[in-house]
């Protein structure tokens, strides 16, 4: 699966999380670009990433910083 994440660094939280099937890579890449352009036009400084993982649980384990606060990460 592909996961498109919009992350607000200042607030430390995921704004959007979209899932795409494995065979939708092209659609996911285009969605990432569209989101980056939209945020740029709006003047928002959010991080946008497109990640591949076998499941959302796997994504949450491998990219914990998007889903946990500093206290959770330190434990």
For the chain, what is the domain count?
Answer: 1
Helix-strand-coil split of the chain, %, nearest 5 = 50, 30, 25
Mean pLDDT of the chain: 93
What does the pLDDT look like over 21-54, one tens digit per residue?
Answer: 999 999 999 999 999 999 999 999 999 999 999 9
Residue ranges of E strands in the chain: 2-8, 13-20, 47-52
Selection from 72, 8, 18 nearest residue 45 by Cα: 8
More confident residue, 11 or 2: 2
Q: Which domain holds residue 29?
A: 2-74
């Amino acid at each position: 699966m592909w996961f498109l994440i919009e992350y607000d660094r200042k607030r430390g939280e995921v704004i959007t999380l979209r899932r795409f099937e494995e065979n939708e890579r092209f659609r996911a890449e285009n969605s990432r670009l569209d989101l980056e352009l939209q945020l740029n036009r709006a003047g928002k400084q959010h991080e946008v990433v497109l990640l591949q993982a076998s499941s959302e649980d796997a994504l949450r384990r491998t990219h914990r910083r998007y889903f946990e606060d500093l206290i959770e990460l330190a434990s």
